[in-house]
Amino acid sequence: MTGRRFSSSRKSEKVSRLIELASLHPVVSIVGMEKNTGKTVVLNHLIKGLSGESDVTGITSVGLEGERYDQVYLTEKPEITLRRGNLFATSEKDFRSRRFPATVLDVREFRSPLGRTVFARARSDGKIIISGPSIVDYLSQTVRLLREFGARRVLVDSSTSRLSPGSPAVADAIILATGAALSISPGEIVRRTIHQVKIITLPGVEKEAGDIMEGLGNGVWTVDGPEVKLLAVSSLSMESGLDLSGRTVYVNGSLTSRALGKLAAPGVRVVVRDFSRIFVDEESLRSFQRHGGSVNVLHSARLLAVTLNPVSPSGYSLRSGQLKETLERFLPVPVFNILEEEDR
């Protein structure tokens, strides 16, 4: 299904570019680099701009989103505001605490500490806490069901620092939220954001190699054309000192900084299923690449944009214009100040 094309009348309302980008993809995940980087503001901005009776939007999350107060800083947070006609999936507990009428479409045994997952349609605008399933397989099924119930597109809100909702197994596209919650230093924010974008946008492998890797189970494998060999049952159990020069190594599991160090060799190519399985710090990746190694993914991701929240939860505010310009200079995607976007 193709994304929505805005009519001339819609364009006259000065729809933001971020909304236009999101409208082109069936499933968009909003993932944050840290708590309080503005994911909920981004989500509300997209819900407001993408909701319509003839163009239904579905909303869910992984974990708990939409609470009134930050549980760490005890500051008030923006709630999730649904629009009439929105489909949504949340826990039984939070469905009962909603502040608007809704029609239940289904209840599934995607259990969490807050109960089963309720699928419903909002009959008016209102506030809600969205607490979707925390297991990625359940989240993927939730997205599929929302689309079967009539959602033309689905917005997925990630919980704190979790990148798994942005996995290609769940979403067609990603919006990455960064900001002052990461650090008081603009340079540190830029450095960490650039590194995360590099991980998200790692290139995919060629089809022939990918087809072979798709059929392999968990573990660390060498893939030399059609010849495959299991090196270790997991990256944690992998031996050091292996001669992997010029070879392709498929890590079907998590790739950590320590594991990447064991794989360092001239010309080695490491392949991971997707970016959400990669937990490698900036220096480890740089060291691996200096040794002549490269990293690819079996399933590549599409990063739509980076959003910037210049205000930290403790109250200080960064010079957003300068920070935004610096990020735009180094990133391959557009950068949006979410507070400016919401004011449009």
Per-residue pLDDT of 118-165, as tens digits, reads: 999 999 999 998 988 888 888 999 999 999 999 999 999 986 556 776
Do the Cβ atoms of 18 and 45 come closer than 8 Å? yes
pTM for this entry: 0.88
Question: pLDDT tens across 127-137, in order?
Answer: 998 988 888 88
Answer whether residue 5 shows pLDDT above 50: no
Rounded Cα gap, residues 96 and 89, in angstroms: 12
Least confident range from 87-91, 141-145, 216-220, 320-324: namely 320-324
| Residue whose pair of structure tokens reads 């929240």 in the numeric block | 309
Rounded Cα gap, residues 291 and 45, in angstroms: 44
For β-strands 294-297 and 269-272, DSSP reports them as parallel
Question: pLDDT tens across 65-94, in order?
Answer: 545 545 554 455 568 999 999 999 999 989
Answer whether residue 63 shows pLDDT above 70: no
Predicted local distance difference test score (pLDDT) of residue 218: 94
Rounded Cα gap, residues 174 and 300, in angstroms: 11
How would you classify residue 73: left for phi > 0, otherwise alpha for psi between -120 and 50, otherwise beta? Answer: alpha
Supply the DSSP symbol for 177.
E
The distance from CA 204 to its chain's CA centroid, rounded to whole angstroms, is: 17
Predicted local distance difference test score (pLDDT) of residue 342: 59
Phi, psi for 234 (deg, rounded to 5): -160, 165
- Among candidates 107, 92, 40, 28, which has minimal Cα distance to 69? 40
Predicted local distance difference test score (pLDDT) of residue 341: 60
Predicted local distance difference test score (pLDDT) of residue 34: 87
Q: How confident is the model over 201-229, as a mean pLDDT?
A: 94
Predicted local distance difference test score (pLDDT) of residue 166: 74
Question: pLDDT tens across 271-286, in order?
Answer: 999 999 999 999 999 9
Please report, rounded to a whole number, the percentage of residues in the chain having pLDDT higher than 70. 87
CA dihedral 31, 34, 38, 39 (to 10 degrees): 20
Predicted local distance difference test score (pLDDT) of residue 3: 45
Predicted local distance difference test score (pLDDT) of residue 9: 35
Least confident range from 3-7, 61-65, 74-78, 261-265: namely 3-7
Predicted local distance difference test score (pLDDT) of residue 1: 39
Quote the mean pLDDT of the chain: 86
320-330 and 186-200 helices, crossing angle to 10°: 30
Predicted local distance difference test score (pLDDT) of residue 74: 46
Supply the DSSP symbol for 206.
P
Amino acid of residue 144: R
**What is the pLDDT confidence band of residue 6, given thresholds at 50, 70 and 90?**
very low
Rounded Cα gap, residues 116 and 105, in angstroms: 13
Is the torsion defined by CA of 235, 238, 241, 246 positive or negative?
Answer: negative
- Among candidates 195, 293, 280, which has minimal Cα distance to 247? 293
The distance from CA 27 to its chain's CA centroid, rounded to whole angstroms, is: 11
State the Rg of the chain over Cα. Answer: 21
Q: Which helix (H) or strand (E) holds 300?
A: none
